[in-house]
Chain A
Amino acid sequence: MLLSIKNVHKTFSGHEILKGIDFSLDEGKVLVLIGPSGSGKTTTLRTLNLLEIPEAGTLQIADQEVVFGQALSKKRIQAMRRQSAMVFQEYNLFPHRTALENVTEGLIIVQKMAPKEAQERAAELLNKVGLTQHLNKYPHQLSGGQQQRVGIARAVALQPKLLLFDEPTSALDPELVGDVLKVMKDLAREGWTMVVVTHELKFAADVADEVLFLDDGRILERGAPDVLLQQPQHERTKQFLSRILNER
């Protein structure tokens, strides 16, 4: 098992937001999280990257494990964090660095790779996501879809065990969504292990090995995409899916 998260509880200012989250994922598999706004999808994903620290539960990725509720040293947090990398809804590129520099930053500063080698790796990755023409542009000179592909290259460059995506296309104009989803599909096909929060049901149906439906801080329903998306068991899941389909 590459990833396993057990009985995770997270409270924000007195409100329990995650009420016992459990799931696991094998290497090379893609998990999609869906659920209504405020159900805790982002919080769950951020927990995997330790951008949130829950009060209770355990998280294991590859050979690293942390038990929440105990004191965690910065070193332990950093070691766990390096197992995964996040692609953010709002891209969060470094605005003062070019596309290429956004990707080399982690390689040079964190992984201590020689700059020349890092630049080659970064250029290769940016080429793969279709940005060969834009290596030396600053984020504000790129479209949202291009920025998000830089964001993906930045995460992939570090070769983490696990890639995390938080609604990577929901800030994009509709005509730019396809390019980003295509890059993500390619990554899935190459065998990357991914956890993806998305409302793109078509993507989930095509790419996911498993889909989880989160509702009010709990996993209400889980299953293979053709089952969960076609024949949901719970009324809440049915309502949610039909609402999304009607929005399109």
Chain B
Amino acid sequence: MTNHLIIGQYVPGHSVIHRLDPRAKLLIVFAYVLIVFLANNAVTYALLSLFAFAFAALSRISFSFIARGLKPILWVVLFTLLLHLFMTKEGDVICQIGPLSVYEGGIKQGAFISLRFLLLVWMTTMLTLTTTPIEVTDGVESLLGPLKKMRVPVHELALMMAISLRFIPTLMEETEKIMKAQAARGVDFSGGRFSERMKAIVSLLVPLFISSFKRADELATAMEARGYRGGEGRTKFRQLAWKPVDTVFLAAVALLFALLCLLRS
């Protein structure tokens, strides 16, 4: 039921991308997300796509797997495409469907915006597919480190993030388990009348909330029992290490940025 949702999942591996410093990966993806908005013609979009594809290829995760993971957002993409197709009135009229006319500019706009959206999701998915949640949080904490001086509770924020990320799979598992248990008691999650559907959802959400609260409580107790006192003076078991290859990848992004600036119209 939840099998095809891969956003937020981690796929173990030993590729170059997997072994990049999480800080480097975060910076790369963050920079990419920003510079995607520079693209405005075919050449620049092609460059961005090339980069995304190369990144995925280096990670050695199969394209078909990533593509299947993007399926859930496909309807959003389709919607954007259609919206632009019919709402943009630029250039020549290509064809006429009833009262609606499709302009050349509409096709271009629609295609570009959809592609932009896909690329954004693609790269952020690549980040989570190749980086464990723990690495992501360590990376974030380290990158935001300077803000500590401004009394931003960086460590606490990172911890919150770590806990949320850590429990996404657990929550999914739990959801599946409860859905199965209720299905065995005759609940039909795929159809039925409105009132039946509401009942089905309640029978899923109540146990889910209860176990989440219970788990939060247990987690807090366990942390206290092991002497957790926040970030002050806390050392790390895993030390992050910046390697030359990380610099190379960042340089590649810088190059991409430069090229985009040159080639955009």
Do A and B come from the same complex?
Answer: no
A→B interface (CB under 8 Å): none
